[in-house]
Amino acid sequence: MAKTETWPARVVLMLCHCAGMVDLVALPVWIGTLIQHYRFDPQQAGGLATLFLAGAVLSSIFLSSRFGRISARLAASLGFGASAAAFFAMSLTSDFASLAALHAAAGLAAGCGLSATHGTIGRSANPHRLFAIVGMALGVFAIAFLGATPQLVAAAGGSALFKVFAGVMLVAALGSVLGFPNPAATPLAPAEGLPSSGKLGRNVWLIVIGVSLMSLVQAMIFSFVERIGTDRGFGFEAVTGVLIALGLVNLLPAPLAALLQRRLPAHLVVLMGPVAQAVIALVITQSQGFAPYAAATAMFAAVMIFTHTFAFGLLSALDPSGRAPAATPAMLMIGSAIGPVLGGTLVKGFGYGSLGIVALLLAMGAVACFSQLRPRPAPTTSTLA
């Protein structure tokens, strides 16, 4: 198997990252399709997405504690392959109970592949830089997905969305079979964030909780940006254009994070991330005008991508064994899993404006966590080797 420092291996990791993080790109189209084409209410649609993400959390928790003892290549290949099969099965049914079971199964499988991917990145020579590289790929994927999929769903029906998901997972599975890299042979030595007992240290938990709260805000707001624009009368073409703009903007945060790795203190970046995210969420949910809505929506996901790249670098420095980085899908998706159903419940009961208020409260919790992190120098290649 290739090492993570070779470009063929990086391409495979890019494919796996895009497949495993598909929710970060697809939630607006996903929720919108379930509401418009399957006639589910916001709470039901959010609940289905939540089942996928909850499954990813459970498999990530299981795999991350065993990272290094299970073949990462096998986990990625089987995980993404099984997820592809589950998504294809979704395209053949419109029954809510069947879709619920298949969403959970797809999440369990995709979370397995994503944990293997992130754990492998975490044991590379420069995890921050490699995570930024796969983040760039996610930006390119977002442009293609958000530019083509809404039109495809409008023309071919809701089942087309699940066929697209199945194709994305299948490409990642095939890439994993052909060239998933071997995690660097980093010794499983105790680190500041992971004592010899195997329990997570204080700094790791602060990052885990803070990132989970940010991912909750991300999923809660992002799930409904398409419906907010449509229900406020901005029109299908205009809202689709905003989503394409979002994909274009998503090209920027990952390369910026790589460029600024040595120039910005990571603990300050993660501290300011929730603040920026909350401000943008308030603009999206409270504004009745198209221009503020469009500008805020286009920037929204970029904040999470930029902040999480620095958070991932911090985690990799705290635990060079790769176990904490392998758990990043769990910390991301435990928030994301709650977000769609929480957002759907709030929208159903109190309207879109309530999403911004709750986002502000959650951001305060994330800031409280990140403010307790002790400053530490950025990891270098020599210290991670």
We report the CATH number of the domain holding residue 209 as 1.20.1250.20
Helix axes 236-249, 22-36, angle to 10 degrees: 170
Residue range 134-177, pLDDT digits in tens: 888 988 898 889 888 989 999 999 999 999 999 999 999 999 99
What is the C-alpha separation between 178 and 176, in angstroms, rounded?
5
The answer to whether position 369 is within a domain reads: yes
Counting residues of the chain whose pLDDT is more than 70, the rounded percentage is: 86
User: Within a domain: residue 121?
Assistant: yes
Domain membership flag for residue 202: yes
Model confidence at 375, pLDDT cuts 50, 70, 90, reads: low
Give the per-residue pLDDT at 383: 40
Percentage of residues of the chain with pLDDT beyond 90: 40
- Residue (of 102, 101, 80, 108) closest to 19 by Cα position: 80
Give the model's pLDDT for residue 81: 96
Is 158 inside a domain boundary?
A: yes
pLDDT score of 271 more than 50 = yes
In a domain, 385, yes or no: no
Whether residue 2 lies inside any domain: the answer is no
pLDDT reported for residue 160: 96
pLDDT band with cut points at 50, 70 and 90 for residue 378: very low
99-140: pLDDT as tens digits? 999 999 999 999 999 988 988 887 777 887 888 888 889 888
- Residue 79 falls within a domain, yes or no? yes
- Average pLDDT of the chain, as a whole number: 85
**Structural contact between residues 147 and 250, judged by C-beta atoms closer than 8 angstroms:** no
Looking at residue 205, what is its pLDDT? 80
Q: What are phi and psi of 262, to 5 degrees?
A: -95, -5
Q: pLDDT digits over 60-112, tens only?
A: 888 876 776 778 899 999 999 999 999 999 999 999 999 999 999 999 999 99
Task: State which residues form the domain around 106.
Answer: 7-380
Q: For residue 1, is it within any domain?
A: no
Residue 189 — pLDDT band, cuts 50, 70, 90? very low
- How many domains is the chain partitioned into structurally? 1
Matching residue, tokens 């990043």: 328
